[in-house]
Amino acid sequence: MRRFSKIVFRIVFATVLGVCLSVLSGISGCKKGVQDNPVPTEIVPAATDPAGEETPGSVEDPTNEPTEEPTLVPTEEPSATPAPEEPTDTPAPTPTPTPEPTETPTPSPTPTPSPTEAPTEAPTATPTAPPTATPTAEPTEIPQETTFTTANGLKYTVSGEISASGSTFTLKNGLVLDFEAGSLAGSYNRFALKYSATKPLKITVKYKKSGGEAEDSFFLEAGTDLDFGGLVSSYLQNGRFTELKSVTVDSIKKSQAQFTLKEITGSLVPVYNEKLYYVENNRFKVGVQLSWGGGLNYIEDKTCTVSGLTNLVNRHDTGRLIQQSYYGTVGNSEYTPGSFNGSTWAYNPVQGGDQYGNASRLIDVNVTANSVYIKAQPQDWSLNGQITPSYMENTYTLTDTYIRVDNRFVDFSGWEHRYAHQELPAFYTVSYLDKFTWYNGSDGWTGAPLTSRDNLNFWGDPNYADDCRFYVKNGNTETWCSWTSSKDDFGIGLFVPNVDMLYAGRFSYNGSKSATDGATNYVAPLVTYKMTSFDPIDYSYLITTGSVSEIRGVFTANKDFATNESLHKHYQSMRVTEIDFANLDFSSQDGMQPLERPYNTDVSYNSSQKAARFKVTNASDPQVYVNYQNASTPLYAENYKTFEFTYKIPENASLDSYACDLFLCTGGKTAPDGSERTRVSLIKDGQWHTASVDLSSLSFWSGKINAIRFDYFDQCSAGDIIYVKSFVLK
């Protein structure tokens, strides 16, 4: 019921009641007048994630250690091992019969080097929210006949559970602004608002269009004197509105907020090609797919001379755009997650669309001579056609030497999210670009040697996932990477400052140059970040093309273009200290990073022994994988003739004697297969011993050292323990 209606009712009722009392003096039993309905109680659901074990794939409390989230993958890959309750440990795109977010640029010829341009700030249509507005006077109830006028002359009346101070309205459950007939009469496809709000809001704009009426909803950030632009939902189909009817304003969590509408206008903006809108200069041709949330789906280097190589970005489906993707809660009182690849999947806004092929919604677009600005409302990856309460913004700006991308994301759900590995961005290339290159040291931008891999496996396969993670070392700011062709030394590079890990791999590698092929390569620079409702995530990155040396040269010349400091607001570091891989020292916990993929083994650091502790959890083939591929300078078998490890087996171990097997993975072998191994006898007496293995006598010990699988007990019982202080190659 409207407040002003209640006031009139009270006055009339009181008058009648007075007359009755004066006439019927002395008669008792008259009923009390009807009271106003109470203002609804503010409801703010406690949408916290359930607490769980601090292990990969389990639900975690936001205060615990980060849990890595799955990434989106191509559709042809065999499914990853399902996790019953949570997404996988790191973003691991896994294919399904429906489109999935993935990205794949295609290789192009080495461009002629051109002078490096100073980075320029890209235009952005929506400003970051300034300080919140506050009402200037005590709110009062609004008489029914009150008419308000916007700064551009539109007249409206208001209703709802509200009060006002001037034209600033206080609302809880809803404020309805009904506009005078004929407001914004004409032919338009875009709304623009100037407003102030003390809290984030949702508005619903009702308008007339040819053949009837329609409405669209938008989110508004909190702040003072802000601008917002939004397209009608039928924009890409050339939809237009002819008259403004009303605007309904709601606070996100039904809590009290103040709102001032200063101006609302309509305009007719060009309807760009929904499939592929191009912006280009003499060097680059870049395509933006407006029908898939404005993700990048085309990058061509016009100087490329590699035959048949044009588009470097795989656009096989909605998942394979260079695009934004984020991970949040795995469920709360308001949100029920979906599933993907047999696993419960987290809240996952994806710019292109969902796994079923439903496209994200285009909210706004603005094109200049050398840039494109996009705002989109993404789909939730695991759910079917469920648009998320969030906005993604991208500004793509072209220069003669690079493409700059400025990203912004705001979640309006109001939910409590958890720490997760965020893809910044998800980046896919054509299969032809088979070689992944990055700087794996801690002395960046000095021209130090690079590390390359041309044999990466599928990042979503749990057997290879660890081999696809490349951690950034403390102090390193040279955090770029590239996918190039090992045949032509030409490809595409990505530089995202201030990230902690590069997660990369190849899917169904076939060397195809086609941008629509199912095979693809992938990389996602990651940070462990907690998505926080209403708090924007802002970051920028550069893309360039050419040979590995040319790519590095462009990024070096522009290494200070952005800091991405905002990524560290809600952040937990994954960075690692520099490790001497030839002398792995487990006397401190920092040295244990190369120990991966424990099987039937509990791996921990034991502070009393100052050593790594391997405890048998199941007596069937316990083992630990020692990964040498993250060494800043690759290690080669020809330089090392002996392998030594210092160990202790407690006297209370179950057997009298033990032996271990070493599976050696060198050259092109990255996973053990049993054909290249050697056995060592161990001593059980509670004392420290050093075992020495002669590697020079092994015919298969040659080439790059990729890994050693340490099967520490050939025969054992559950609960048996071995302590290891070091692994040394001499």
pLDDT tens by residue, 190-216: 999 999 999 999 999 999 998 899 999
Whether residues 564 and 592 fall in one domain: no
Domain assignment present for 323: yes
CATH of the domain at 254: 2.60.120.260
In the structure, what pLDDT confidence band is assigned to residue 70 with cuts at 50, 70 and 90?
very low
Lowest mean per-residue pLDDT among 305-319, 525-539, 618-632: 618-632
Q: Which residue type does 268 have?
A: L
Structure tokens at 327: 């991970």
Contacts of 462 (CB under 8 A, 6+ apart): 80, 81, 88
Domain assignment present for 588: yes
| Mean pLDDT value across residues 98-102 | 34
In degrees, rounded to 5, the angle at the alpha carbon of residue 248 between the alpha carbons of residues 244 and 252 is 145
State yes or no: pLDDT of 496 exceeds 60. Answer: yes
Structure tokens at 55: 């292990």
CATH of the domain at 474: 2.70.98
Structure tokens at 603: 């791996």
Residue 4: give the domain boundaries: 1-38
Say if strands 148-149 and 155-165 run parallel, antiparallel, or are unpaired. Answer: antiparallel
The helix or strand, by DSSP H or E, that contains position 555, with its residue range, turns out to be helix 548-557
| Mean pLDDT value across residues 97-112 | 34
Tell me what pLDDT residue 143 has.
56
Structure tokens at 372: 């494109």
Lowest mean per-residue pLDDT among 7-21, 219-233, 254-268, 428-442: 7-21
| Mean pLDDT value across residues 43-61 | 31
Helix-strand-coil split of the chain, %, nearest 5: 5, 40, 55
Give the whole-angstrom CA distance, residue 583 versus residue 719.
28
pLDDT for 506-517, tens place per residue? 999 999 999 999
Lowest mean per-residue pLDDT among 171-180, 279-288, 382-391, 585-594: 585-594
Whether residues 597 and 634 fall in one domain: yes
The helix or strand, by DSSP H or E, that contains position 551, with its residue range, turns out to be helix 548-557
Contact in structure between 617 and 602 (CB atoms under 8 Å): yes
Whether residues 217 and 283 fall in one domain: no
Q: What percent of the chain has pLDDT over 90?
A: 68
How many CA atoms does the CB half-sphere of 249 hold within 13 Å? 32
Domain assignment present for 104: no
State yes or no: pLDDT of 123 exceeds 60. Answer: no
262, exposed or middle or buried, with CB in 10 Å at 0-12, 13-18, 19+?
A: middle
Give the whole-angstrom CA distance, residue 638 versus residue 285.
46
How many CA atoms does the CB half-sphere of 30 hold within 13 Å? 17
Question: Could you count the other beta carbons within 10 Å of the beta carbon of residue 145?
Answer: 7
**Most confidently modeled range among 35-49, 378-392, 620-634:** 378-392
Residue pointed to by tokens 């040295």: 591
Contact in structure between 349 and 386 (CB atoms under 8 Å): no
Whether residues 424 and 554 fall in one domain: yes
State yes or no: pLDDT of 622 exceeds 50. Answer: yes
State yes or no: pLDDT of 385 exceeds 60. Answer: yes
Give the whole-angstrom CA distance, residue 593 versus residue 270.
54
Domain assignment present for 119: no
State yes or no: pLDDT of 28 exceeds 70. Answer: no
pLDDT for 315-355, tens place per residue? 999 989 999 999 999 999 999 999 998 889 999 999 999 99
Whether residues 397 and 502 fall in one domain: yes
Whether residues 343 and 412 fall in one domain: yes
pLDDT for 136-160, tens place per residue? 444 556 555 689 999 999 999 999 8
Question: Could you count the other beta carbons within 10 Å of the beta carbon of residue 596?
Answer: 17
Q: First CA to last CA across the chain, in angstroms?
A: 84
Contacts of 690 (CB under 8 A, 6+ apart): 644, 645, 646, 647
Whether residues 171 and 312 fall in one domain: no
Contacts of 223 (CB under 8 A, 6+ apart): 129, 130, 131, 132, 133, 196, 197
Structure tokens at 232: 């009608």
Domain assignment present for 688: yes
The helix or strand, by DSSP H or E, that contains position 423, with its residue range, turns out to be strand 419-430
Tell me what pLDDT residue 144 has.
55
Question: Could you count the other beta carbons within 10 Å of the beta carbon of residue 289?
Answer: 26
How many residues does the structure list for the chain? Answer: 730
Whether residues 181 and 293 fall in one domain: no
Whether residues 437 and 524 fall in one domain: yes
Domain assignment present for 502: yes
In the structure, what pLDDT confidence band is assigned to residue 76 with cuts at 50, 70 and 90?
very low
| Mean pLDDT value across residues 93-115 | 35
| Mean pLDDT value across residues 401-413 | 98
In the structure, what pLDDT confidence band is assigned to residue 23 with cuts at 50, 70 and 90?
very low
State yes or no: pLDDT of 527 exceeds 80. Answer: yes
Give the whole-angstrom CA distance, residue 124 versus residue 391.
14
- From 505, 539, 572, give the residue that closes a domain: 572
Q: How many Å separate Cα 310 from the centre of its chain?
A: 28
State yes or no: pLDDT of 681 exceeds 50. Answer: yes
Whether residues 546 and 604 fall in one domain: no
Say if strands 601-606 and 611-616 run parallel, antiparallel, or are unpaired. Answer: antiparallel
| Mean pLDDT value across residues 233-262 | 94
Domain assignment present for 648: yes
Contact in structure between 600 and 621 (CB atoms under 8 Å): yes
State yes or no: pLDDT of 13 exceeds 80. Answer: no
State yes or no: pLDDT of 46 exceeds 70. Answer: no
Give the whole-angstrom CA distance, residue 553 versus residue 452.
17
Whether residues 675 and 529 fall in one domain: no
Contact in structure between 321 and 401 (CB atoms under 8 Å): no
23, exposed or middle or buried, with CB in 10 Å at 0-12, 13-18, 19+?
A: exposed
Q: State how many domains the chain has.
A: 4
Sheet strand arrangement including 451-453: 361-367, 371-377, 390-398, 403-411, 537-546, 491-495, 480-484, 435-438, 451-453
- From 551, 572, 593, give the residue that closes a domain: 572
Whether residues 410 and 261 fall in one domain: no
- If DSSP codes are grouped into helix, strand and coil, which group holds residue 28? coil
**Residue bearing the bigger pLDDT, 672 or 384:** 384
Tell me what pLDDT residue 146 has.
86
- From 267, 286, 303, give the residue that closes a domain: 267
**Most confidently modeled range among 94-98, 348-352, 454-458:** 348-352
Tell me what pLDDT residue 589 has.
81
Domain assignment present for 293: yes
State yes or no: pLDDT of 495 exceeds 60. Answer: yes
Q: Rounded to whole angstroms, what are the CA distances from 555 to 197, 519, 551?
A: 41, 28, 6
Q: Which residue type does 705 have?
A: I
Backbone angles phi, psi at 349, to 5 degrees: -65, 125
User: Among candidates 481, 483, 484, which has minimal Cα distance to 450?
Assistant: 481
